Structures are given as C-alpha cells and as structure tokens.
Amino acid sequence: MERSNDQLHEEAEEALANINKKTGRNMPQAIGTAVVLIALILASLLIRIDVFVALIVVFMVLALWELRVDFATVGLHIPVVALWLCSAGILLGTYYSPYHFSTMALLTMATLMLVTVLATARFSFGNRLSLAVASKLSSSDASAREESSFNHASGELHHSRLSHVAVSVLTVLYIPVLASCIILSLVFNGHPVAHAITLVFLPALSDTGGLFFGAWFGKHKLSPRISPKKSVEGLLGSILFAMIGAFAVFACTYDGSMWVSRWWVPIVAGVLVGVAGTFGDLCASMLKRDIGIKDMGHLLKGHGGVMDRVDSILMCAPFLVTLLWVTGL
C-alpha cells in the first residue's frame, strides 16, 4: 500500500530534524546562506581584487560589532568606532601601500596604542547597543549563562580598566591583524585570485568536511568540555576536505613544473587548515562558553554570526599565507 503525501511529508520533516540535530544547525538555512556568500565572494573576485578587499573590510566591521555586543553582555567594552576606523586603515593600508608588511606592522602598533588609551572610555550608542545586548541574552540558553565565568543575573557588571584594555587588544589581534594576512596573500607571486580562494574557501571547505564527518561518523570526542560536537573523525574529515580543495586550486592555477617540485604543498595545506581551523573553532567555542552565549552573532542565517563563520578563516590565514610565500606559490 502506497504511503500518503502526509506520511511522506512527515518522514521528510523527521529526517531533516535529525540532520539538523546531528549538525547542530538549520541546514536549509545554512546551505542557502553559504550559496549567497560564495556567490558574493566569487563575484567580487571576478569584478576586481579591490572589490574583494572592500568586502573583507565590510565583514570585519560587522565582526567587530558582534564582538562589541558579545563583550557588552558581560560588562566589557571595546572602542568599536576607533576599531572600525583603525581596522579599515590596517586592511586598506596593507593592500595599497608599496611596503605591505611594514605598513601593516606600523598601523597595528598605532592601533594598539590608540585602543589602549580609548578602551577605558565609555561612548553611548543610544539604545541600539542595549537592545542588541538584551536580544543576545534572551536568545542564549540558561544553561550556557550558568556555565559562564560571569554572573548575568546580577545586572550591570563592573570590571577594572585593565580588563577593558585586555579585551580590546585581543580584538585587534583577532580581527584586523589576522584579516590582514588575507590581504597580504593578494600582493605577492602574481596569483591573487588563487590565493584569495585558498585562504577563504579552504577553511570553509574544511568546516564542511568536519561537519559531515562529525555528524555521520563522529564517535571519539575531541574536546567535550569546550565543544561537545567536535570529534576526532570530524577533524580527519576537515583535513581530507581541505586537502582535496587544495589539490583542486593547485591544479587550476599552476603548471606541470610546479607539480613536480611542489606536489606536497596541498597535503601540508590540508593538514594546516584542518588543524588550525579546528583550533579556531575551539577558541571561539571557549570564548562563547566563557561569556555564556550560544552564537557570536545572528547576521548569517544558519551560521550564527559573522564571527561564527570567519573564526576558522582568520585562524588559518597566517599559516596559509606563510606557506604560500615560503614555497613561492
């Protein structure tokens, strides 16, 4: 006897619910958002590299606002306007200056000094920040807030000036400095598109491999206290997918002579991306657990926030750009 449409529909919903439970996210939303992001990034690369640089600046501005809200939920404040301006200066200066690395280093030092001074000041954003913080706390799980190092129930939290300075310095090192490594990859050896794809899409592909391998084969927990869903099998899937992606980029970019002498580079790249990307995810999970929030933001449907999407990309960037530069690719 054939099953009715209602039965088929219920079975499909149940199967989708199981997939969402295993992966820990809304997969239809996640796939839709990923398609839009991929199209946006590829379009920027096809139009002009300058557009891609501008896109990185936009994403970093959004990521800084998310961190501003996240830290504010526990009473910590970063000078977000100064960070916006300085981060844009670091990224644009690194790309357009003829002395790319020196410019990045000098602007980073200037940013650290300015942020250190401004971190103890309080600037008002009207009620926008208060509304964002209230929304963040209301959407967080009660269990997550209980495990936090901070007591959310006690109202406004007060910290020493050094605490505000510390999180502001951390933000500079985490966002603009790591993002500038992506910019650096665009300015040497004459393969900006291949380098951009390597630094942006390999970590994303690694995340995908880790997600599916972890969901279907994951049995051995990697770090159950920090991130219960991370598994050794997921890490192996991350390395495998990153390695496959690296071979694909390598095959589409370099000639036979490079294959003879640099055949091992995609293997190293896959291992670096898998390990560093997973480490980046764990660092972000540890930060979220310590603050007591579920996601770093809400701007990307199915992916949480911008920070949830770029954490592994940022962590992989210095390793990949160093590999590309050292090997002359």
13 located within any domain: no
| Residue whose token pair is 């939303």 | 29
The answer to whether the beta carbons of residues 85 and 93 sit under 8 Å apart is: no
Residue 147 lies in a domain: yes
Structure token digits, residue 223? 């770090």
Most confident of 11-15, 71-75, 87-91, 308-312: 87-91
- 12 domain-assigned: no
CA distance 208 to 148: 28
> Is residue 47 predicted with pLDDT exceeding 60?
yes
Tell me, what's the pLDDT at 102? Answer: 94
Would you state the torsion angle of the CA atoms of residues 279, 236, 211, 284, taken in this order, to the nearest 10 degrees? 0
Average pLDDT over residues 226-250: 86
Packing angle, helices 49-72 and 128-139, rounded to 10: 80
On the CB side of 304, how many CA atoms lie within 13 Å of its CA?
23
User: Is pLDDT of 264 > 60?
Assistant: yes
328: alpha, beta or left, given left = phi > 0 and alpha = psi -120 to 50?
A: left
pLDDT digits 0-9 by tens, 151-201: 545 445 567 788 889 999 999 999 999 999 999 999 988 899 999 999 999
Residue 76 pLDDT greater than 90, yes or no:
no
The pLDDT of residue 256: 80
- Which domain range does residue 39 map to? 34-327
Whether residue 5 lies inside any domain: the answer is no
- Confidence at residue 221, expressed as pLDDT on a 0 to 100 scale: 79
Count of domains forming the chain: 1
Percent with pLDDT over 70 in the chain: 75
The answer to whether position 78 is within a domain reads yes
| Average pLDDT over all residues of the chain | 80
Exposure letters 55-94 (e unless 16+ CB within 10 A, then b): bbbebbbbbbbbbbbbbbbbbbbbbbebbbebbbbbbbbb
Cβ 320 vs Cβ 246: under 8 Å? no
Give dist(CA 321, CA 329) in Å, integer.
10
Percent of the chain exceeding pLDDT 90 equals 41
Per-residue model confidence (pLDDT) at position 8: 47
Q: What pLDDT score was predicted for residue 136?
A: 56
In a domain, 21, yes or no: no
Q: How far apart are CA 272 and CA 319, in angstroms?
A: 7
Contact (Cβ atoms closer than 8 angstroms) between residue 230 and residue 282: yes
pLDDT digits (tens, 9 = 90+) for 303-327: 556 777 788 899 999 999 999 999 9
Q: What is the pLDDT of residue 288?
A: 78
From first CA to last CA, the distance across the chain in angstroms is: 61
Q: Residue 1: its pLDDT value, please?
A: 41
The region of weakest confidence among 127-136, 225-234, 242-251, 279-288 is: 127-136
Task: Give me the mean pLDDT over the 18-35 stretch.
Answer: 62
Q: Is residue 28 part of a domain?
A: no
Would the pLDDT of 119 be above 90? no
